[in-house]
């Protein structure tokens, strides 16, 4: 924060993930709080936290693709399904353990990303959205085929290696933290700069010597791999895989997380995830308070749809920077107080 | 013969929906992902007007058509207007948000049960024999209606003042604006027309098979038709609709009925590999800095 008179004087300093002593202190407080959380929270809060952690992996993956590289993916639910079904099928067919299914899911995700990313390279613009839409329907169809062929018409049941929600919390926390660190590391290097450049303008990026096709494809493959891993973890966490769980609405939830959180920020992806996971529970609570709960209980999903759409539109129109934008404004207000404007030239 | 009739009806459905995608994309370079929902809204509009003007089916149809057009203008006036000048990414995300909002609102307003607006109009869906094939009256109306819409759009885009302005705005918005074309008016018109044709498709499908939640999926399945033909070509949308419909009907008939939802996307992927700009689409120009 340059408003405090602190300036970065070297590139190493500029690229550092944790910069000042205050940041380090806050980060360690945050880590301790996270570690203490499962011992203090009840089972419901713990399940919510696990959902947030699980969703955050996919949301960060989509943020890399949409928020940084500027490509739209409508196949996020399909990719989660790909990871989940890879785990489910390997478990059912050869009784593989998670140490086999997890890398296998990652490999399947990378392969799908490569195959479906290739055709979209030939044109600029929104063609990735188009091919990922095809991806969604093809993967879901393949999953349904497997379910009906093998007689698991209601879904594939998996044995979870972890029974305890507390143990899951630490596993998911590790997975989420690893994803975030991996992403931040990519973003501060050459790859991340290339992604941001093609987001800005492809022709300029190419003129600067960036291999536009390689950058686009790498963004998509990385995003797909991470999402597929999240799908595998989802399968184990739920202990159950079914094609119905991966509708287009799941994709829209992730897109909502990216928009509401704030495009082009990892912190935004995390804030958006919290919003998206807690939002349906908030709506349900609100319905109960207003007394609509009984009348609308059969269509509560429709209330969710409408509210999601409305929230996304409001953020797109009035707060395109998302929750991160609000966060930064609040931060700046406190940092600058009692002044209101940043000094000129900052 | 029956297969040919089935293909013709499905192709007409896809073509009628696809022309909405093409109109919006061609004029404003935005991919409307709310088209399936807008189409469904048109169908529900017919159901509502049919019960309002019971006994006057023609009035009901005219009112629902006017309603669809008005909804299109409203969508632009209230939402998409704010997205001009923003990145295309933001505009497309806005259409996704609009789609999910509409879907939720429609379920809340009209429930989840299948509705049959044709009954409300007081007509029956007779089966008509053509040679050895049978086709429903609504299906035949669909084929004829689609032909009429395409004919009218062709004349509109090439012979009318507003149509020519529309093509100009699609070709080069900056130049068009400098020549005095009101871009907001043109874009609103494109959204209005697209919603109108989509709504018509929704109404006719609803007359044939009732209004169900699968209507949105049909809207999405028409998208490959638009892309196969070329996203900025109406003629292409027509050709693409025939290709996708033929592939779908034939594969369902000879291979597996469960393939229905995936065939259009297979065709789409094949097209993206071979000729991503579509059969009749224009290849994108060089991007200059």
The tens-digit pLDDT sequence of chain A (346 residues) is: 455 566 778 888 777 877 788 888 999 999 999 999 989 988 899 999 999 999 999 999 999 999 999 888 889 999 999 999 999 999 988 888 889 999 999 999 999 999 988 887 877 667 788 888 889 999 999 999 898 888 887 788 888 777 788 899 999 999 999 999 999 999 998 999 999 999 888 889 999 999 999 999 999 999 999 999 999 999 999 888 998 889 888 999 999 999 999 988 999 999 999 999 999 999 888 888 887 767 777 778 888 889 989 999 999 999 888 999 999 889 888 888 888 776 665 4
* Beta pairing, strands A240-241 & B133-136: unpaired
Q: Does residue A72 sit at the B interface (CB-CB below 8 Å)? A: yes
Count other C-beta atoms under 10 Å from residue B286's C-beta: 6
Instruction: Please list the residues that pair with A295 across neighbouring strands.
Output: none
- Chain A interface test: which of B18, B78, B104, B113 (most A C-beta within 10 Å): B104
Q: So what's the pLDDT on residue B77?
A: 92
Strands (E), chain B: 127-130, 133-136
Q: Which residues on A lie below 8 Å from B98 (Cβ)?
A: 309, 313
Contact call for residues A250 and A76 (beta carbons, < 8 A): yes
Instruction: Verify whether the Cβ–Cβ distance A126 to B31 is below 8 Å.
Output: yes
Contact call for residues A261 and A326 (beta carbons, < 8 A): no
Q: Does residue A15 sit at the B interface (CB-CB below 8 Å)? A: no
* B5/A65 Cα distance (integer angstroms): 44
Strand, coil or helix: A73: coil
Long-range contacts for A301-305 (Cβ within 8 Å, ≥24 apart)? A301/B107, A302/B103, A302/B104, A302/B105, A302/B107, A302/B108, A303/B104, A303/B108, A304/A279, A304/A280, A304/B104, A305/A249, A305/B100, A305/B101, A305/B103, A305/B104, A305/B107
Q: Does residue A335 sit at the B interface (CB-CB below 8 Å)? A: no
Q: Which 244-273 residues of chain B touch chain A by CB within 8 A?
A: 258-259, 261-262, 265-266, 268-269, 272-273
H/E stretch holding A155 reads none
Q: So what's the pLDDT on residue A171?
A: 93
* B143/B10 Cα distance (integer angstroms): 9
Query: What average pLDDT values come out for chain B (289 residues) when binned by 10 residues?
Result: 89 94 90 92 90 83 92 93 82 92 90 80 77 83 92 93 92 90 92 94 88 85 90 90 93 84 88 85 71
Instruction: Verify whether the Cβ–Cβ distance B90 to A304 is below 8 Å.
Output: no
Q: Which residues on B lie below 8 Å from A312 (Cβ)?
A: 93-94, 96-97, 100-101
Q: pTM of the prediction?
A: 0.90
Contact call for residues B142 and B16 (beta carbons, < 8 A): yes
Q: Does residue B89 sit at the A interface (CB-CB below 8 Å)? A: yes
ipTM higher than threshold 0.90: no
Domain residues of chain B, as ranges? 2-216
Instruction: Verify whether the Cβ–Cβ distance B94 to A313 is below 8 Å.
Output: yes
Instruction: Verify whether the Cβ–Cβ distance B97 to A145 is below 8 Å.
Output: no
Of the candidates A175, A233, A257, A195, the residue with the CA atom closest to the CA atom of residue A64: A195
Of the candidates A54, A55, A58, the residue with the CA atom closest to the CA atom of residue A228: A58
Q: Which residues on B lie below 8 Å from A299 (Cβ)?
A: 107-108, 111-112
Q: Which residues contact A291 (CB under 8 A, 6 or more apart)?
A: none
Instruction: Verify whether the Cβ–Cβ distance B31 to A252 is below 8 Å.
Output: no
Instruction: Verify whether the Cβ–Cβ distance B224 to A134 is below 8 Å.
Output: yes
Q: How far is B154 from chain A (nearest CA, A)?
A: 26
Q: Which residues on A lie below 8 Å from B256 (Cβ)?
A: none
**CA-based nearest residue in chain A for residue B286:** A203
Q: Which 2-31 residues of chain B touch chain A by CB within 8 A?
A: 29, 31
Strands (E), B131-257: 133-136
In terms of Cβ atoms closer than 10 Å to its own Cβ (0-12, 13-18, 19+), residue B228 is buried
Strands (E), B93-211: 127-130, 133-136
Contact call for residues B93 and A72 (beta carbons, < 8 A): yes
Q: How far is A112 from chain B (nearest CA, A)?
A: 13
């Amino acid at each position: 924060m340059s408003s405090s008179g602190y300036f970065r004087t070297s590139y190493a300093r500029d690229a550092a993930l944790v910069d000042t002593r205050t940041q380090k202190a806050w980060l360690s407080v945050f880590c301790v709080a996270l570690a203490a959380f499962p011992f203090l929270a009840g089972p419901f809060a713990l399940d919510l936290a696990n959902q947030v952690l699980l969703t955050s992996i996919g949301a960060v993956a989509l943020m890399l693709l949409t928020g940084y590289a500027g490509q739209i993916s409508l196949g996020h639910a399909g990719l989660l399904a790909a990871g989940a079904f890879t785990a489910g099928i390997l478990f059912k067919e050869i009784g593989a353990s998670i140490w086999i299914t997890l890398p296998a899911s990652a490999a399947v995700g990378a392969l799908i990303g490569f195959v479906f990313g290739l055709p979209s390279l030939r044109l600029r613009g929104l063609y990735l959205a188009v091919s990922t839409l095809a991806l969604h329907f093809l993967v879901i169809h393949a999953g349904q085929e497997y379910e009906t062929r093998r007689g698991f018409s209601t879904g594939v049941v998996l044995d979870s290696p972890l029974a305890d929600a507390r143990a899951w919390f630490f596993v998911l926390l590790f997975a989420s933290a690893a994803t975030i660190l991996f992403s931040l590391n990519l973003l501060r290097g050459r790859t991340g700069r290339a992604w941001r450049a093609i987001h800005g303008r492809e022709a300029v990026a190419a003129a600067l010597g960036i291999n536009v096709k390689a950058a686009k494809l790498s963004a998509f493959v990385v995003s797909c791999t991470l999402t597929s891993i999240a799908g595998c973890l989802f399968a184990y966490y739920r202990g159950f895989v079914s094609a119905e769980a991966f509708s287009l609405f799941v994709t829209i939830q992730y897109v909502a997380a990216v928009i509401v959180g704030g495009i082009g920020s990892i912190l935004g992806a995390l804030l958006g995830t919290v919003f998206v996971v807690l939002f349906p529970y908030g709506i349900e609570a609100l319905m109960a308070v207003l007394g609509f709960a009984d009348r609308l209980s059969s269509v509560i999903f429709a209330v969710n749809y409408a509210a999601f759409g409305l929230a996304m539109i409001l953020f797109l129109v009035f707060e395109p920077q998302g929750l991160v934008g609000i966060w930064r404004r609040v931060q700046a207000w406190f940092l600058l107080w009692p002044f209101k404007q940043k000094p000129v030239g900052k | 013969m029956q297969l040919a009739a089935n293909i013709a009806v499905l192709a007409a459905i896809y073509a009628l929906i696809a022309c909405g995608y093409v109109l919006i994309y061609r004029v404003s370079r935005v991919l409307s992902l709310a088209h399936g929902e807008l189409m469904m809204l048109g169908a529900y509009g017919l159901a509502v007007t049919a019960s309002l003007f019971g006994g006057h089916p023609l009035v009901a149809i005219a009112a629902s058509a006017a309603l669809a057009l008005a909804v299109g203008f409203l969508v632009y006036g209230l939402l998409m207007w704010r997205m001009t000048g923003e990145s295309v990414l933001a505009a497309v995300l806005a259409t996704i948000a609009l789609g999910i909002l509409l879907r939720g609102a429609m379920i809340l307003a009209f429930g989840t049960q299948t509705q049959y607006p044709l009954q409300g109009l007081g007509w029956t869906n007779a089966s008509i024999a053509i040679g050895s094939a049978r086709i429903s009256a609504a299906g035949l109306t669909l084929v004829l209606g689609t032909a009429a819409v395409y004919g009218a759009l062709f004349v509109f885009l090439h012979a009318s003042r507003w149509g020519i302005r529309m093509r100009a705005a699609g070709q080069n918005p900056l130049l068009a604006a400098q020549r005095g074309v009101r871009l907001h008016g043109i874009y609103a018109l494109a959204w209005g027309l697209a919603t109108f044709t989509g709504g018509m498709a929704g109404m006719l499908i609803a007359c044939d098979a009732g209004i169900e939640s699968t209507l949105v999926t049909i809207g999405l399945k028409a998208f490959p038709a638009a892309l196969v033909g070329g996203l900025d070509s109406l003629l292409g949308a027509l050709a693409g609709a025939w290709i996708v419909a033929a592939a779908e009907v034939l594969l369902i008939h000879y291979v597996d009925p469960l393939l229905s939802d995936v065939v259009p996307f297979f065709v789409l992927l094949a097209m993206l590999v071979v000729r991503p700009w579509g059969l009749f689409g224009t290849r994108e120009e060089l991007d200059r800095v």
